[in-house]
Amino acid sequence: MSLKQTSAPTERDARVLELYEQLLEIEQRLIPTGLHIFGRPGSMHERTDLLKTIASFDRPEVGARALPDLIAEGLGVGSYPRRIGQTSLSEAQLTERETVDRLVDTAVRVFVETNSESAAAFLKDQAAVKVEQSLPVFKFLEQISRELKVNNELESLVRALRGEFIEPGPGADIVQNPNVLPTGRNTHAINPYSVPSTVAFARGEIVANCLLERFKSENGRYPETMALVLWGLDNIKTQGEGVAQALWLLGVRPVTDSLNRITSVAPIPLEALGRPRIDVVMTVSGIFRDLFSPTVQLLDKAVRLVANLDEPFDKNFIRKHVSEQVSNDACNFDEAAIRVFSNAPGSYGTNVNFMVTDSQWDRDETLGDLFVTRKCFAYGRDGQGRPIEGREAGVAMDRALARVEATYQNIDTFEIGLTDVDHYFEYLGGISKAVEKRAQAKPSIYLSDSLSRDIKIRSLEETVQLETRAKTLNPKWYEGMLNHGFRGVAEIENHVTNTFGWSATADAVDDWVYSEVAKTFVFDESMLDRLRDLNPHSAHGLVQRLLEASARGYWDVEQSVLDQLREIARSLEDQLEGVA
Ligand code: BEZ
Ligand code: MG
């Protein structure tokens, strides 16, 4: 963003404010600053960061309210200013937010260094928060803090190897469900008939609306078809937020049977919905297929129900598309309504990540084709109620993807982001590349950020930029990694490779990202020395990846830079071969 001298003060102020908001966003993102070491509890600093985040959510189960809300109320500024969707905060709201955040910060630090009572007294003094309101929060933190210091991982591993019983605990995000503590237990999934939970369904509405608003603000209309990626572990963690979002896009709500199991859906009337029903193509992971079999049936049922509603085409895009396909392609209703795809039975993953990391492709469209080859198996039930359990449906998937205008995945964990693992680009990148060829246009690619108190939809490009600034290029992150020595350098290389994966599948990485990576890790001599001492293999891999980014046309960079990189790659190779 450039701040031109000629700008009118109001315009300039708005830009400065926007920039400031972006900086806060990067700063406040919980950055895992190091890797977890098996058997070892986190540091006091990590514990404090985590407790702060945990305290930012209401915990009705223990009668505790979110600390930022209590402080905002105590200060008389109303509720904590949140960003929902594309709204920006005013200068006054930003200032209020900062004041509240600072008080949360200090109060949790007082708690960690002394005790609950002192922290409550601090907030009473500084923000007029009643002790009886803040004490339940700190008492809750006390319990979590205790469990964070305990670590049963090594002991449990040894017991498991002896064939002993390991107590189970929920598999969830620690912030969303602190009952995951203590660690070192067997994780269990959730009852798929309870998905989506009431809370997940309520959050799903907000996220789905923000998503549609974002598309509409860029295109002037609603998308007719979207492709969603649904993962198993994510839906365990959130009790089905991703599932809820899919149901909201379709415009249906879950219905329970006499045993209180969610086994059906009912349409939300169009007047209540206030918008058309969106056609949704769902690609579910192999893990989702295995863990959420009833949910797969539910999603398929929802699509068929909506496709059969007697509603105008401009208000029901599924009915429109299914009807068009039945008449144009001489295809029956059951076939035309297939929308839930996954791997063949017993098979997992897209392999797009392996093809990218091993550099084994010539044309980018190969990556999308590979995605479809792996994921074109239909699940659900046909019009006669006969189960379809992974029937090959490549033609149906090609047809469905040809209509997609936007692709989307929900990010709901504090721990893993877009460039931490290769799975985001293999799925969201893979499907986006598949759409690009079949629809003959690049889809808009979105991710939600429903992990903080703000709910925000970002484009893929914006998310890659944020991840790059918050992690890969952030000294706090990479120094944390370097503390882990050999493994830490491998993580830095992984981040660069996963970023490269977003070039390969979606051309979503700006030139500056690669330039800054080169500057930070390769052209800084002392940094390069550290990397080559700790892990010359990864240092070499990182340099090679930068060269590959240029060779494949993802990074527009001067020849002199490439020459330097080649020279460094050669010297690293010599070192690896022991000839240096
Ligand atoms: C899943 O939870 O479904 C999942 C986990 C890792 C990679 C891909 C999918
Ligand atoms: Mg480019």
Which pLDDT tens digit goes with each residue over 161-219?
999 999 998 877 788 788 889 999 988 888 999 999 998 999 899 999 999 999 999 99
> What pLDDT does residue 305 have?
97
Q: What is the DSSP letter of 180?
A: G
Answer yes or no: is the C-beta of 380 below 6 A from any ligand 1 atom: no
User: Atom 8 of ligand 1 has which residue's CA nearest to it?
Assistant: 423
By the 10 Å C-beta count (0-12 exposed, 13-18 middle, 19+ buried), 203 is classed as buried
Residues in the chain: 580
Answer yes or no: is the C-beta of 231 below 6 A from any ligand 1 atom: yes
> Hey, what are 174's tokens?
């620690």
Q: Give the angle 492-495-501 at the CA atoms, nearest 5°.
A: 150
The C-alpha atoms of residue 281 and residue 150 are separated, in whole angstroms, by 44
> What pLDDT does residue 323 have?
96
Q: How far from chain centre, in Å, is Cα 71? A: 29
Q: What is the number of the ligand closest to the CA of 514?
A: 2
CB 464 within 8 A of CB 418: yes
Q: What SS3 class is residue 86?
A: coil
* Regions of the chain where pLDDT drops below 70: 1-9, 30-32, 83-87, 414, 450-453, 580
Q: What SS3 class is residue 84?
A: strand
The C-alpha atoms of residue 435 and residue 456 are separated, in whole angstroms, by 24
> Hey, what are 123's tokens?
């907030």
> What pLDDT does residue 27 have?
77
> What pLDDT does residue 85 have?
62
Q: 3-state SS string over 284-302?
A: ECHHHHHHCHHHHHHHHHH
Answer yes or no: is the C-beta of 292 below 6 A from any ligand 1 atom: no
The C-alpha atoms of residue 202 and residue 208 are separated, in whole angstroms, by 10
Q: What is the number of the ligand closest to the CA of 426?
A: 1
Q: What is the DSSP letter of 194?
A: G
If phi over 0 gives left and psi between -120 and 50 gives alpha, with beta otherwise, what is residue 63?
left
| DSSP count for the chain of H helices, then E strands | 27, 12
> What pLDDT does residue 31 have?
64
424, amino acid identity = Y
Answer yes or no: is the C-beta of 428 below 6 A from any ligand 1 atom: no
Q: What is the DSSP string of 501-543?
A: HHHHHH----HHHHHHHIIIIISSHHHHHHHHHH-HHHHHHHH
> What pLDDT does residue 2 have?
40
For the CA of 231, the closest atom of ligand 1 is 3
> What pLDDT does residue 30 have?
59
Answer yes or no: is the C-beta of 138 below 6 A from any ligand 1 atom: no
> Hey, what are 240's tokens?
């089905």
